Amino acid sequence: MNDLAGMREQYDDGGLDEAEAGDDPQDLFSRWFADWLATEPFDANAMILSTVDREGWPSARAVLLKGFDDRGLIFYTNYLSDKARHLDDTGRAALTFLWEPLLRQVRVSGRVSRVPPQESDAYFASRPRGSQIGAWASEQSKVISGRGVLEDAVAAIEKRFPGEVPRPPHWGGYLLTPNAVEFWHGRVSRLHDRIRFRRAQGSDRWIRERLSP
């Protein structure tokens, strides 16, 4: 079992200053994510995806980060789900990563778009067969009369695809291209460190700024 109190004390000592933050949020995110992986947490890539519908009602749920690169952060879902409808309608979303044992949180907001079909195909092919079957069987967010409906659908899909399972046309990835990334490092004193990167208007250049806790 991890010594959470010891980790809190270790990471409270350093805090987050501008020298450590650097000039590129992707670099800092990569380093922090590596630190988080080193703690061997369950579902290390879990994050909270926040969206709003056409009427402005917010919704949040946990999803899994499946990659990040110079373009942004990538996750996958059913394109017929409530979250996908929100993403397609507004083209905007926010992500939250809470790594509490390390006294760290990262908030990301930006524009969202679907990844190219071939990219979704490649990721889908890497998934376990059970997950592939589930992507076909589940009409995500739809009301059903009971679990039997889902189990019947799984049985039908397994019979339909005895071998290779192709990617469903209603399933694929999204890319969130950040316009703001905030790194929060907790302090026992409650005078936490908050450093935000935001894109300069009409530019790919990042502006770094410290926020009061």
**The Cα angle at residue 64 between residues 84 and 207, in degrees rounded to 5:** 85
Three-state SS for 133-152 is HHHHHCCCCCCCCCHHHHHH
CA distance 85 to 164: 29
pLDDT tens digit sequence for 7-24:
555 555 568 999 999 999
% of the chain surpassing 70 pLDDT: 93
Using 50, 70 and 90 to split pLDDT, how confident is the model at 142? confident
Place of tokens 């410290």: 210
Q: Give alpha helix (H) positions in 39-187.
A: 82-90, 117-125, 129-137, 147-160
Give the whole-angstrom CA distance, residue 180 versus residue 178: 5
Nearest to 36 by CA among 83, 70, 2: 2
How many percent of the chain have pLDDT more than 90?
86
The residues, any chain, with a CB within 8 Å of residue 156's CB and separated by 6 or more, are: 137
Q: What is the mean pLDDT of residues 174-184?
A: 98
Please enumerate, as own/partner, the contacts of 90-96 that have beta carbons within 8 Å and a separation of 24 or more. 90/51, 90/52, 90/54, 92/51, 92/52, 93/49, 93/50, 93/51, 93/174, 93/176, 94/49, 94/50, 95/47, 95/48, 95/49, 95/50, 95/65, 95/176, 96/47, 96/48, 96/50
CA nearest 178: which of 71, 97, 102? 71
pLDDT the model gives residue 156: 96
Residue type, 112: V
172 is in which domain, residue-wise? 4-211
Averaged over 44-57, what is the pLDDT? Answer: 96
Nearest CA to 161 among 130, 120, 119? 130
Query: In this predicted structure, what is the pLDDT of residue 7?
Result: 54
Question: Can you name the residues that pair with 142 across neighbouring β-strands?
Answer: none
Work out how many domains the chain is built from and give that number. 1
What is the residue-averaged pLDDT of the chain? 93
Overall average pLDDT of the 153-163 stretch? 95
What distance in Å separates the CA atoms of residue 30 and residue 7, rounded to the nearest whole number? 19
Query: 2 vs 110, which has greater pLDDT?
Result: 110
Q: What is the CA radius of gyration of the chain?
A: 20
> 88-126 pLDDT, tens per residue?
999 999 999 999 999 999 999 999 999 999 999 999 999
Taken as a whole, the chain contains a residue count of 213
Interval 22-38: pLDDT, tens: 999 999 999 999 999 99
Active site residues: 190
State the pLDDT confidence band at 1, using cuts at 50, 70 and 90: very low
Q: What are the tens digits of pLDDT across the range 56-94?
A: 999 999 999 999 999 999 999 999 999 999 999 999 999
Q: Which CATH number goes with the domain that contains 69?
A: 2.30.110.10
> Which pLDDT does position 9 carry in this prediction?
57
